[in-house]
Chain A
Amino acid sequence: MIATWTKALLLITFTIVPPSTLLASDSTKAIEIATERKKRDLGWESSEASVTMLLRNAQGQEAKRALSIKSLEIDGDGDKALTVFDSPRDVKGTAFLSFSHALEPDEQWIYLPALKRVKRISSRNKSGPFVGSEFAFEDMTSYEVEKFSYEYIGEEEVNGEECFVIKQVPQYEYSGYTSQKVWIDKSHYRVQKIEFYDKKETLLKVLHLKDYQLYEDKFWRPMRSEMRNVQTRKSTYLITEKIDFNTELSDGDFDKNRLKRAR
């Protein structure tokens, strides 16, 4: 009797509380969503965008940066990106070249036009602010599924869109975050919102992606990315003024030896 009881109990315990399997199915669903998000954004090849960056601190002090961003999709790897500053004027012509990778460290170079110097920079500083903004270097690199582990949280409506909510934990080294909570809409698998949690696991920043536009009948791009730091009350808006997918960009345009040409 007792033996069967125990057996039954064990059986019940295993069927009712299978923590590992529950997590597995949760993460499977979340991975499916993440994979679909990435899949829907494959094949854009290259793009060239004019972007305004608007920075605001808690005292309401504002600053603007004008930049152009050239991006190149790389099959089976992270993207290549070349960011060139047009303003503020003292950094005009400064170019930032980045090869992002899923789990390997990114490769980064900066070109300083006044010195005509190309400097390799350590990509370890992923958590460092990008040009004094609320965007960290790691927020600016391309999204790859393998960069995170996933957990399905539930569903919620954001910006009038029904969204999946998933938690993603960075798997690459030296991230400034313990986790990110991501809202991905059901209609097109576009990211609508991200919450970033710091090393103390408290909410650090909230990113809202707005005004999505469809390009080439396939690729959605947000025209506004609004990042708010809830701890410091500083914010940075990235506003896409123009984006073009019919570029003739090739690997050669993303060569550190050719950064001097950037303008």
Chain B
Amino acid sequence: MKKGWVCCALFVASNSYADIEISGVVGLEQRYFLQDALYENQERSYSSAFLMPELYSEWNGGTDTLVVKPFYRIDQHDNERTHGDIREFQWAHYADSWETRVGIGKVFWGQTESLHLVDIINQTDTVEQVDGEAKLGQPMVNFNYFSDFGMFSIYAMPYFRERTFQGENGRLRPPIAIGEALYESDDEERNMDVAIRWQSSIDDWEVGFSVFSGTTREPELVTVLSADGEPEILPFYAQIEQVGVDLLKVSGAWLFKLESIYRSGQTENFAALVTGFEYTKQGVFGSRYGLGFLAEYQFDEREDNFFAVGQNDLMAGLRVMVNDIAETEMLFGFVQDLEEQGTYSGFIEASSRLTSNWSWKLNGYFFSSDDIEDPYYFLRRDDHVQFSLEYYF
């Protein structure tokens, strides 16, 4: 991989006509936990700062592009959340009916909002965002072919990214911090993972079908005793095969969505599904406001996976679009476990713009469980709100 980067860098450097465009974002964030910590070494308040510049260059009339997007966050207490990543370092070549992307990049697959079952290329940057939307850069060679029958994609991924987990001083973790990764593959993180995907728009439908073979992005947690007799929680990454399907149908103001996967290779083979709708109404009660109503049902065959929280759950959400100059938006959500009444979570995500460069975000996440076997049981005291102020340049 390294050689590739050097080649890329030299190629750009040798092309004196290539202008480099610099943009990016820098921000401050304050997290405040509403209750005292459940475990030792955890705090109530965490300040942090992050920087994510983006360098962009294009040549050959825009048919070749290079994006470099490093990221770094410094956290006041959690040394695992103090982390850096190369979000993107990718050369793309565009032709009329095909394109190639080589390097570190990000890919999104899927249609639903409350869970992203089908989306498997990139690893989740758990420490970065609780909602799982932050992803680590994935090294890949990607080829996309565009036809009248949709887009066909193939991915070869030579290097695996381990999921990030909170450190000993961080909240939002099990009783002991998650330790070093274990792999099924003898090549460990150097296992070659492959994926193919087809996606197309057919009238009112958006259709996607995907197959993945390689190291699972979602580990299973195993408890072991260390040499000195202390228990340790370690993430185990098995070799899996996964097929996924994602669908969306537009019908007037309604969007109907579905994602489903079948995965084999882990402790148990299983199917999972998330399906629901989004209904949007603008100009409610003669005002300028827009409202979006969301509901999604989550199903997962697995009984005891720390990360499979949507086993038989229902998410209901309300999106409020203020439609003002600052494009203020709020999303309120609630997820209820249909089997355990006492297990539920809620969230608020609000954002707005102060000037054309400054924005703010206010997020809140709330967890509750009285079921000792439920993952949320470990997080039951980790309700928190976070405010961030961001400068885009």
Contact = CB atoms under 8 A, between A and B. Distances in A.
**Is chain B found bound to chain A in the same assembly?**
yes
Given A120-B255, A132-B324, A252-B96, A89 B280 contact: no
Interface in A53-75: 55, 57, 61, 63-64
B283 A127 contact: yes
B23 interface: yes
Contact of B25 (A61, A90, A125, A261): A90
A63 B359 CA distance: 13
A218 B133 CA distance: 49
Contacts of A232: 288
Contact of B356 (A89, A118, A256): A89
A122 B151 contact: no
A176 interface: yes
Contact of B290 (A61, A117, A128): A128
Given A124-B252, A124-B280, A125-B282, A90 B150 contact: no
Interface in A71-125: 87-92, 105, 107, 115-118, 120-125
A18 interface: no
B94 A261 contact: yes
B393 interface: yes
B359 to A, nearest CB: 5
A79 B150 CA distance: 21
B390 to A, nearest CB: 7
Contacts of B146: 252, 255, 257-258
Most buried by B among A131, A199, A261: A261
A203 B99 CA distance: 50
Contacts of A43: none
A129 interface: yes
A70 to B, nearest CB: 13
B290 A88 contact: no
B253 interface: yes
B108 interface: yes
A90 B390 contact: yes
Contacts of B195: none
A105 B255 CA distance: 14
B72 to A, nearest CB: 17
A261 B392 contact: no
A257 B144 CA distance: 9
Nearest to B324: A132
Contacts of B388: none
B365 interface: no
B106 A116 contact: yes
B99 to A, nearest CB: 7
Given A116-B106, A132-B324, A122 B283 contact: no
Given A89-B393, A122-B254, A257 B323 contact: no
B29 interface: no
Contacts of B106: 116
Given A88-B357, A122-B250, A132 B150 contact: no
A105 B392 CA distance: 36
B323 A132 contact: yes
A174 B251 CA distance: 13
B261 to A, nearest CB: 18
Given A120-B250, A129-B323, A132-B323, A88 B282 contact: no
A132 B325 CA distance: 5
A132 B255 contact: no
A118 B288 CA distance: 26
B369 interface: no
Task: Pick the most buried of A105, A123, A257: most chain B CB atoms within 10 A of its CB.
Answer: A257
Contact of A87 (B108, B201, B252, B356): B356
B357 A261 contact: no
Contacts of B253: 122, 124-125, 174
Nearest to B200: A257
B176 interface: no
A174 B253 CA distance: 10
B258 interface: no
Given A88-B356, A128-B290, A122 B252 contact: yes
Contacts of B286: 199
Which of A63, A127, A232 counts the most chain B CB atoms within 10 A? A63
A90 B392 contact: yes
A174 B357 CA distance: 35
B325 A122 contact: no
B163 interface: no
Interface string B80-91: 000000000000
Interface in B123-162: 133, 144, 146, 150-151
Contacts of B325: 55, 57, 61, 63, 132
Nearest to B119: A117
B288 A129 contact: yes
Nearest to B206: A120
Contacts of A252: 96-97, 146
A127 B289 CA distance: 11
A256 to B, nearest CB: 6
B18 interface: no
A105 B251 CA distance: 10
Given A125-B280, A132-B323, A263-B56, 20 more contacts: A63-B325, A63-B353, A63-B356, A87-B356, A89-B356, A90-B392, A107-B250, A121-B255, A122-B252, A122-B253, A125-B253, A125-B282, A128-B282, A128-B321, A131-B327, A132-B324, A199-B286, A256-B201, A257-B199, A261-B92
